[in-house]
C-alpha cells in the first residue's frame, strides 16, 4: 500500500504533490522519501501533465528530515541510507520533465528549504520563515543545501544561513531570490495553481525543452539535458525511421541524411 503521507492528485494538465504528515510538520522519514520518489514516477508517467505543484498539508510546508528518523543512525547509515538517498530523491524532484511550482504555505527550514529549492518557481506566504539551521545542531545541510541552493540563490545567501544561522522572512527571501513571489497567509496554493495554469497554457514541448536548456546553462543535470535534447531531435529524423526499418527487415540501412 502506498504511503498516504505523500499524495499525488491530477487536475487536467496539473499534478499536485502534497506532503501530508501535518502532525509532524510534514517532516520526512525514509518511507516518505521513497513515496516522494514514487510520486515523481507517477507525474513523469502521465503524459497529460504539463506542470506540477508541491506543497504541504496543514500549517507547515515541511520541517525537512525527521530527527527521530535519523538521530539513532550510525555515521555510515546516516551518510548513505539517509543523506545520499534523500539527495537522490530531491534530485529526482528537481529534474522532473515538467516545471515544478512550490506553494510554501509554512516555514521552510533545513530540509524543508532544500525541498522548496528543488522547485522551478517558489511562492511563499508572508508569515513564512526560511533558513538553514543545521550547524546549530552540529550538522550540515545534506539534501543539496550547499549545492543546488548555491546555484539557484547564490553562495553568499547560503553562507548567511548556513554559517551565520540567519533566518529570513518571506519578504527578505524574495529580495534575496530565495522565493519568487510572496502572498498573504492561506493564499500560496491558490497562487501556485494560477501560476501553474499560466505555464500549462504555453507550448508544452517548448516549456520542457526550455527547462532542460536552463538546467544546462546553470550547470545542473548537464548530461541528462544534453542527451535528452539530442535524443528528442534524432527521434524525429528520417534516418532513425530508416535505421529501425532496416533492423526489422534484417538489411543494411540506407541513410539519406534526413532530419
Give the residue numbers annotated as catalytic, written as ranges: 114, 134
Question: CA–CA separation, 73 vs 94, rounded Å?
Answer: 27
Q: Which strands, in side-by-side order, build the sheet including 121-125?
A: 6-11, 14-19, 51-56, 100-104, 121-125, 181-183
Q: For residue 208, give Cα distances in angstroms to 12, 15, 36, 219.
A: 17, 15, 21, 17
5 CB-near residues (< 8 Å, 6+ apart): 19, 20, 21, 31, 32, 35
Instruction: Locate all alpha helices (DSSP H) within the chain, ordered by sequence.
Output: 30-45, 67-70, 75-77, 85-94, 111-117, 148-153, 155-162, 170-176, 188-200, 204-217, 222-235, 238-249
Amino acid at each position: 500500500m502506498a504511503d498516504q503521507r505523500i499524495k499525488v492528485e491530477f487536475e487536467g494538465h496539473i499534478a499536485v504533490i502534497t506532503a501530508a504528515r501535518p502532525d509532524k510538520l510534514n517532516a520526512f522519514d525514509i518511507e516518505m522519501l521513497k513515496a516522494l520518489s514514487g510520486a515523481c514516477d507517477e507525474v513523469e508517467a502521465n503524459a497529460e501533465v504539463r506542470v506540477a505543484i508541491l506543497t504541504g498539508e496543514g500549517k507547515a510546508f515541511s520541517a525537512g528530515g525527521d530527527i527521530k528518523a535519523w538521530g539513532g543512525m550510525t555515521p555510515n547509515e546516516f551518510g548513505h541510507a539517509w543523506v545520499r538517498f534523500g539527495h537522490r530523491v530531491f534530485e529526482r524532484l528537481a529534474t522532473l520533465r515538467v516545471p515544478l511550482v512550490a506553494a510554501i504555505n509554512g516555514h521552510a527550514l533545513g530540509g524543508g528549504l532544500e525541498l522548496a529549492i528543488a522547485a522551478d518557481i517558489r511562492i511563499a506566504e508572508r508569515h513564512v520563515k526560511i533558513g538553514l539551521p543545521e550547524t546549530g545542531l552540529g550538522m550540515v545541510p545534506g539534501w543539496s543545501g550547499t549545492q543546488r541552493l548555491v546555484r539557484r540563490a547564490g553562495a553568499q545567501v547560503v553562507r548567511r544561513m548556513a554559517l551565520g544561522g540567519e533566518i529570513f522572512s518571506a519578504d527578505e527571501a524574495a529580495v534575496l531570490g530565495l522565493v519568487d513571489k510572496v502572498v498573504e497567509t492561506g493564499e500560496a496554493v491558490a497562487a501556485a495553481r494560477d501560476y501553474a495554469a499560466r505555464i500549462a497554457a504555453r507550448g508544452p514541448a517548448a516549456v520542457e525543452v526550455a527547462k532542460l536548456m536552463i538546467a544546462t546553462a546553470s550547470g545542473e543535470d548537464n548530461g541528462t539535458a544534453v542527451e535528452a535534447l539530442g535524443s528528442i531531435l534524432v527521434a524525429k529524423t528520417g534516418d532513425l525511421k530508416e535505421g529501425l526499418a532496416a533492423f526489422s527487415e534484417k538489411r543494411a540501412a540506407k541513410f539519406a541524411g534526413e532530419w
